[in-house]
């Protein structure tokens, strides 16, 4: 099968068009460049000052007139000293602690590490300034960098000023600082104050279409409609902007956009992970998340319900459903693993996820020992695990991973109705095509009798060439029977090569005959004396190597039948999964086909039918792989023969070797009227299987009906993994070195004292603390982390990076905030406004900081390459899921339906089968379901959606942003079925809705739809050259044009317009691939 990438090179290379003729760089940087915004050139003296102030990115807030312990001293102690002199008692050297004030200032036998007011008398000062390798700290062999002069100066000044102690900044409760008078908007006030301190000014506003495009991507995950662009361009006032913001925040698409953020953090997936990767039914929780954001559920309630919805008074099914958050972890069902070990892993995952998502702490570091940098002890960690240790679970996986909530989603029926309408339409199409195909059959019959065939052959048995992977030798007999002559390895692969004979024009399947023989054990099927004489075939593959080709391509097998299959209930020493021939279609050696238990010793036959007949020519090599890797072994086939079928349908669905056409010849009928009615029906069935036009329609209907049936099953109550307490709570122990069964001291449920040490009345000793208590501790107004971490997530979503650029680490090893007062102001604002996330988002996007241009100057780029000062708007690659969704949006394909079971966007054929050993097969959704948002895409952990190059893997919690400009992503954007189908639909739109416009207006309108702006005259001229080249190319190769335009669910364009369609499709694809189209500008 020609790959899409190969096809693009056979037709009009998109690589050439979008990379050479009209390159992405050329269009968005040169020809399609944004209007350069004039900036005041900075005087050299200012540049010198700023260069001194910003020597490196992580030093933005480290230099100030006043040395602060939490900002200037503690991070240095943590990075250079705490590894040996910090919280982890196991690694502590010389009995010295520098993370605790009293210990750091204690008399250590005639000296003190820190003597307040006297740096010269302080041992720490002597050590960090010494050049003696035996005295110097950090030691030269510690692989930690020596302190910089500015870091030493800060520590000296801090000591001389009295060594005033404090907490790490993020462990101190946020306070609302007074707004600088520099701007009315709080975001602008804090940002401009920082810029003013550095001698900088903010950038001017971005162009109107850029602003609304940025806003729409950030709030909806989609580009704006043309009407929205025009409405804002005509009235770019603050009032209109705020009105647009409010409307977008109310959109259900906004809830979907937020849900994508949350699903990544929640490590949501539709399968278990690990080798088994069994399918789950947790998708109703995904819809709960969307609904929570639609209703703007306060973040504290959102938190409480996901931690302890089941513990709320009179908990509703939806509140219990919310607790699925803490069941989204992977589950391990691998054989030989102690389920209790898995259960402990799940508990630990929940604690680590809580630390990352809500607290911004690297709690995973504390599983094995006290944190080396943050004030979190081993005991603290396991006190947290105690909240999750009494879930009524037993560590199992698959559909045995209790506890479950039986939940019936109200969002399935609309999807069923939608799919039913599509299937009804396909049935009508199939009915009409069947009538046409039957007419073709009658014509074929007439031609058959007009030109009778003298001889006919449905099966071919070329002489094989057989080799073994493990050393078996073979004799080839005159009738092409293969006999193994030893040795007898326990397991083996047979590779059989057959040369396609003359007159054979296609292969539709193949037959395996297994023979008993007198030299075999008990005269049965296997030569191995250590076995019982029966064979076990675990899997098969069919490959084709055309004449002159070096590589082999796989021919997919659709089905298999056998004359005899073992009874799974038979008495056997083997695993009873070794039974049916169907099991040889996966790559799992733990099951397969055997005839063990047959009452008679006789030859047996298995027939394999290919997914579709494949054209061959004489000299091509068909390669068959017979894999015999059963767990019991000693069951390799001893004597066999293979044959190839050229006739599809019934011939490769039966084991007697017959075929309808052979029966027609044998019947000696003289004309079509004399054909037996039953034979005529078989012949029609056979003909239809060979009729490509009808089969395309029939197979599409069959797939759609199967998908409809599967969808209907989703309407039944789903078993959603949730939290539920055991009646008898488990004891919780510190796990020594983090080993699941190495229990240490017993601990009680508790929060982290270093974060928020609740008073005794909130943790009463006489009351067992629950997950509800933990949730309330997390959202307590005095918890210094939760609100900060939440607003940082939102800032990262809107600006590409958080105010703290390590969103998963607000601890001592994390980065300092770029704008600490702004972070704290927003955190307090969130809490004081009832934890309203939408309020914070609105606040941020209505700021001038958010709306400014992303254009920069060489001077500013050199001074602040990472845009930490926010003197300009950020510019970065859109996430892959957003690029896909937007292609559907601008083409008009997007199905805006909310919720329901997962859908299956286009993916390369065989992508699941390869990695799951054939246990799972991916079938792209048909009908409107194909065009749903990526949020609803089925997510298999062993093979995440292949078009997502930058997404979280969802195996564990991830909150950092991944970005990539890998060439593989560029190739995908040019060749992915979704992107090309969107291009095709855009081309159809140009040629229908804009058919009366001239070419310049057509190009302008198309660019406005894709880029939210009209191309300039120079840009249009350049693209017209490409369009003309495309027309000439496809005019010279109509076959390529038909192939190019037949994509996804779109049929090939009509012959009358195929050249124009292919040419405009090329231009649409080009625009969708522009840097401007796939970037947050």
Give the DSSP per-residue string, 405-424. EEE--TTHHHHHHHHHHHHH
Residue bearing tokens 């939102």:
794
Per-residue pLDDT for 163 more than 80? yes
Q: Which residues contact 153 (CB under 8 A, 6 or more apart)?
A: none
Q: Which residue has the higher pLDDT, 62 or 240?
A: 240
Per-residue pLDDT for 20 more than 50? no
Percent of the chain beyond pLDDT 70?
94
Q: Which of these, 233, 614, 671, lies nearest to 446 by C-alpha position?
A: 671
Q: Which residues contact 181 (CB under 8 A, 6 or more apart)?
A: 189
Q: Which residues contact 80 (CB under 8 A, 6 or more apart)?
A: 128, 137, 138, 144, 145, 147
User: Could you tell me which residues are beta bridge partners of residue 579?
Assistant: 593
3-state secondary structure of 1017: helix
Delimit the CATH 2.60.120 region(s) of the chain: 459-658
pLDDT in tens, 316-353: 999 999 999 999 999 998 878 899 999 999 999 999 99
Q: Which residue has the higher pLDDT, 916 or 449?
A: 449
Per-residue pLDDT for 996 more than 90? no
Mean pLDDT (the chain, rounded): 90
CA distances in angstroms from 310 to 266, 723, 725, 730, 771, listed in the order given: 18, 7, 9, 18, 10
Residue bearing tokens 């692989």:
143
Comparing 86-95, 202-211, 637-646, the range with the smallest average pLDDT is 86-95
According to the model, what pLDDT value does residue 283 have? 98
3-state secondary structure of 593: strand
Q: Mean pLDDT throughout 104-128?
A: 91
Confidence of residue 65 (pLDDT cuts 50, 70, 90): low
964-967, Cβ contacts within 8 angstroms, sequence gap of 24 or more: 964/877, 965/877
Task: Check: CB of residue 792 under 8 Å from CB of residue 840.
Answer: no
Q: Which of these, 761, 762, 815, 810, lies nearest to 790 by C-alpha position?
A: 810
According to the model, what pLDDT value does residue 143 have? 83
Per-residue pLDDT for 15 more than 90? no
- Give the alpha-carbon dihedral of 457, 460, 461, 464, to 10 degrees: 160
pTM of the model: 0.85
According to the model, what pLDDT value does residue 23 have? 34
Confidence of residue 1072 (pLDDT cuts 50, 70, 90): very high
According to the model, what pLDDT value does residue 79 have? 87
Element (DSSP H or E) covering residue 496: strand 492-499
Q: Distance (Å, rounded) from C-alpha 905 to C-alpha 90?
A: 51
Q: Distance (Å, rounded) from C-alpha 186 to C-alpha 205?
A: 17
According to the model, what pLDDT value does residue 486 have? 86
Residue bearing tokens 């959606």:
945
Residue 19 CB burial class (10 angstroms; 0-12, 13-18, ≥19): middle
Q: Which of these, 648, 640, 604, lies nearest to 459 by C-alpha position?
A: 648
Task: Check: CB of residue 954 under 8 Å from CB of residue 267.
Answer: yes
Q: Distance (Å, rounded) from C-alpha 889 to C-alpha 878?
A: 15
Q: Distance (Å, rounded) from C-alpha 399 to C-alpha 787?
A: 36
Confidence of residue 787 (pLDDT cuts 50, 70, 90): very high
Q: Mean pLDDT throughout 406-419?
A: 97
Task: Check: CB of residue 560 under 8 Å from CB of residue 542.
Answer: no
Per-residue pLDDT for 1 more than 80? no
According to the model, what pLDDT value does residue 94 have? 82
Tell whether the torsion through CA atoms of 807, 812, 817 and 820 is positive or negative. Answer: positive
Q: Which residue has the higher pLDDT, 62 or 969?
A: 969
Task: Check: CB of residue 939 under 8 Å from CB of residue 270.
Answer: yes
- How far does CA 348 lie from the centroid of its chain? 23
Q: Which residues contact 144 (CB under 8 A, 6 or more apart)?
A: 79, 80, 83, 138
Q: Which residue has the higher pLDDT, 374 or 216?
A: 216
Helices 999-1011 and 1017-1036: crossing angle, nearest 10°? 110
Q: Mean pLDDT throughout 209-236?
A: 97
Q: What is the CATH number of domain 459-658?
A: 2.60.120
Q: HSE, CB side, 13 Å, CA atoms: give it for residue 104.
A: 22
Helix residue spans in 621-668 (DSSP H): 660-667
Q: Distance (Å, rounded) from C-alpha 753 to C-alpha 783?
A: 10
Q: Distance (Å, rounded) from C-alpha 876 to C-alpha 855?
A: 12
For residue 545, give both structure tokens. Answer: 């190597």
Per-residue pLDDT for 5 more than 50? no
Percent of the chain beyond pLDDT 90?
77
pLDDT in tens, 629-670: 999 999 999 999 999 999 888 899 999 988 898 888 888 888
Confidence of residue 110 (pLDDT cuts 50, 70, 90): confident
Helix and strand counts by DSSP (H, E) for the chain:
37, 20
Residue bearing tokens 């898995």:
342
Q: Which residues contact 752 (CB under 8 A, 6 or more apart)?
A: 359, 361, 376, 380, 384
3-state SS string for 111-172: CECCCCCCCCCEHHHHHHHCCCCCCCCCCHHHCCCCCCHHHHHHHHHHHHCCCCCCCCHHHC
User: Could you tell me which residues are beta bridge partners of residue 279?
Assistant: 271
Confidence of residue 46 (pLDDT cuts 50, 70, 90): very low
Q: Which residue has the higher pLDDT, 964 or 820?
A: 820
CA distances in angstroms from 239 to 168, 415, 838, 1015, listed in the order given: 41, 39, 18, 28
pLDDT in tens, 710-731: 999 999 999 999 999 999 999 9
């Amino acid at each position: 099968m020609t790959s899409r990438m190969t096809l693009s090179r056979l037709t009009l290379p998109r690589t050439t068009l979008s990379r050479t003729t009209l390159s992405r760089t050329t269009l968005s940087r040169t020809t399609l460049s944004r209007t350069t915004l004039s900036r005041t050139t900075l005087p050299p003296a200012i540049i010198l000052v700023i260069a001194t102030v910003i020597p490196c990115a992580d030093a933005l807030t480290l230099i100030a007139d006043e040395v602060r312990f939490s900002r200037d001293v503690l991070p240095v102690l943590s990075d250079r000293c705490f590894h040996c002199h910090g919280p982890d008692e196991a690694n502590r050297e010389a009995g010295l602690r520098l993370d605790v004030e009293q210990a750091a200032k204690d008399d250590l036998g005639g000296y003190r590490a820190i003597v307040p007011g006297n740096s010269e008398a302080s041992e720490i000062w002597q050590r960090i300034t010494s050049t003696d390798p035996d005295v110097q700290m950090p030691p030269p062999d510690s692989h930690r960098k020596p302190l910089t002069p500015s870091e030493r100066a800060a520590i000296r000044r801090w000591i001389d000023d009295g060594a005033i102690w404090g907490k790490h900044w993020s462990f101190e409760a946020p306070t609302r600082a007074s707004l600088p008078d520099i701007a009315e908007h709080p975001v602008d006030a804090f940002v401009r104050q920082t810029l003013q301190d550095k001698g900088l000014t903010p950038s001017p506003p971005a162009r109107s279409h850029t602003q609304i495009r940025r806003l729409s991507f950030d709030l909806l995950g989609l580009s704006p409609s043309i009407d929205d662009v025009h409405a804002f361009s005509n009235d770019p006032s603050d009032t209109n902007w705020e009105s647009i913001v409010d409307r977008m925040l109310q959109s259900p698409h906004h809830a979907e956009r937020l849900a994508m953020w949350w699903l990544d953090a929640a490590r949501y997936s539709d399968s278990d992970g690990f080798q088994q990767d069994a399918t789950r039914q947790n998708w109703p929780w995904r819809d709960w998340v969307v609904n929570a954001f639609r209703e703007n559920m306060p973040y504290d309630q959102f938190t409480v319900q996901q931690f302890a919805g089941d513990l709320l008074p009179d908990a509703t099914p939806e509140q219990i459903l919310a607790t699925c958050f803490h069941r989204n972890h992977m589950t391990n069902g691998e054989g030989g693993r102690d389920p209790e070990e898995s259960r402990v892993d799940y508990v630990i995952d929940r604690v680590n996820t809580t630390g990352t998502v809500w607290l911004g702490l690297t709690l995973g570091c504390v599983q094995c020992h006290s944190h080396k940098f943050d004030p979190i002890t081993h005991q603290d960690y396991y006190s947290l695990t105690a909240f999750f240790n009494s879930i009524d679970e037993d560590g199992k996986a698959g559909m045995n991973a209790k506890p479950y909530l039986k939940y019936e989603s109200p969002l399935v029926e609309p999807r069923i109705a939608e799919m039913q309408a599509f299937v009804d339409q396909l049935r009508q199409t199939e009915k009409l095509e069947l009538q046409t195909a039957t007419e073709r059959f009658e014509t074929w019959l007439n031609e058959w009798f007009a030109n009778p065939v003298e001889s006919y052959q449905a099966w071919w048995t070329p002489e094989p060439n057989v080799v073994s992977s493990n050393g078996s030798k073979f004799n080839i007999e005159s009738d092409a029977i293969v006999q193994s002559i030893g040795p007898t390895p326990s397991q083996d692969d047979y590779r059989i090569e057959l040369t396609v004979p003359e007159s054979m024009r296609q292969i539709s399947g193949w037959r395996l005959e297994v023979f008993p023989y007198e030299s075999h054990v008990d005269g049965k099927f296997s030569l191995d004396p250590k076995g019982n004489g029966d064979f076990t075939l675990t899997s098969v593959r069919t490959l084709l190597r055309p004449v002159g080709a070096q590589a082999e391509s796989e021919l997919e097998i659709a089905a298999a039948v056998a004359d005899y299959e073992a009874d799974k209930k038979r008495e056997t020493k083997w695993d009873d999964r070794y039974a049916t021939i169907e099991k040889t279609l996966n790559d799992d050696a733990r099951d397969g086909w055997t005839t063990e238990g047959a009452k008679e010793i006789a030859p047996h036959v298995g027939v394999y039918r290919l997914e579709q007949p494949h054209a061959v020519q004489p000299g091509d090599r068909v390669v068959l792989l017979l894999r015999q890797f059963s767990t019991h072994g000693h069951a390799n086939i001893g004597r066999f023969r293979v044959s190839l079928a050229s006739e599809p349908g019934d011939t490769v669905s039966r084991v007697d070797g017959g075929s309808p056409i052979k029966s027609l010849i044998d019947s000696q009928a003289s004309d079509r009227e004399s054909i037996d009615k039953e034979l005529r029906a078989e012949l029609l069935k056979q003909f239809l299987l060979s009729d490509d036009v009808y089969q395309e329609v029939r197979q599409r209907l069959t797939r759609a009906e199967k998908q409809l049936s599967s969808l209907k099953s989703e309407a039944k109550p789903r078993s959603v993994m949730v939290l539920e307490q055991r009646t008898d709570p488990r004891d919780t122990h510190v796990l020594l070195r983090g080993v699941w069964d190495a229990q240490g001291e017993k601990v009680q449920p508790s929060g982290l004292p270093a974060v928020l040490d609740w008073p005794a009345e909130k943790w009463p000793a006489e009351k067992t603390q629950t997950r509800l208590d933990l949730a309330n501790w997390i959202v307590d107004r005095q918890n210094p982390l939760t609100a900060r971490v939440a607003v940082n997530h939102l800032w990262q979503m809107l600006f590409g990076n958080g105010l703290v650029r390590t969103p998963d680490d607000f601890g001592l090893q994390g980065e300092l905030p770029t704008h600490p007062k702004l972070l704290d102001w927003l955190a307090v604002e969130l809490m004081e406004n009832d934890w309203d996330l939408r309020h914070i988002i609105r606040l941020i996007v209505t700021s001038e900081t958010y709306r400014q241009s992303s254009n920069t100057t060489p001077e500013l780029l050199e001074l602040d390459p990472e845009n930490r000062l926010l003197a300009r708007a950020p510019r970065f690659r859109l996430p892959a899921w957003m690029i896909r969704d937007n292609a559907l949006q601008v083409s008009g394909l997007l199905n805006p339906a909310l919720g329901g079971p997962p859908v299956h966007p286009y993916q390369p054929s065989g992508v699941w089968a390869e990695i799951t050993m054939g246990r799972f097969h991916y079938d792209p959704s048909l009908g409107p379901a194909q065009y749903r948002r990526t949020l609803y895409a089925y997510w298999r952990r062993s093979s995440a959606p292949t078009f997502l190059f930058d997404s979280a893997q969802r195996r564990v919690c991830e909150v950092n942003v991944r970005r990539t400009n890998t060439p593989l992503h560029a190739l995908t954007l040019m060749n992915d079925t979704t992107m090309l189908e969107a291009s095709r639909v855009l081309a159809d739109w140009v040629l229908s809705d804009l058919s009366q416009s001239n070419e310049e207006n057509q190009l302008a309108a198309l660019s406005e739809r894709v880029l939210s702006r009209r191309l300039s005259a120079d840009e249009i001229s350049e693209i017209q050259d490409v369009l003309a080249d495309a027309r000439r190319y496809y005019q010279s190769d109509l076959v390529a044009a038909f192939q190019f335009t037949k994509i996804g669910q779109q049929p090939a364009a009509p012959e009358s317009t195929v050249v124009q369609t292919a040419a405009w499709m090329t231009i649409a694809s080009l625009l969708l691939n522009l840097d401007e189209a796939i970037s947050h500008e």
